[in-house]
Amino acid sequence: MNQKLFFAADQHFGQANRIRFSERPFISIEVMDLELIKLWNKKVS
């Protein structure tokens, strides 16, 4: 069986301060969370 192992740290879901402190290019926490989920699902099957 061929397995992949993924590691993840804190993605900061729901943490609005992450947008400002990390200079993330999102207009709201909802938009950021949706994009993080989309990227996660694209990579992890």
In a domain, 24, yes or no: yes
The per-residue pLDDT for 27 is 92
The per-residue pLDDT for 15 is 87
For the entire predicted model, the pTM comes to: 0.71
Q: Which two tokens stand for residue 27?
A: 């207009």
In a domain, 26, yes or no: yes
Q: Are 35 and 26 in contact (CB under 8 A)?
A: yes
The per-residue pLDDT for 28 is 93
Q: How many domains does the chain have?
A: 1
pLDDT single digits (tens) 1-45: 788 888 888 888 888 888 888 888 999 999 999 999 999 999 887
As a whole number of angstroms, the distance between CA 37 and CA 23 comes to 19
CA 24 to chain CA centroid, nearest Å: 11
In a domain, 21, yes or no: yes
The per-residue pLDDT for 18 is 84
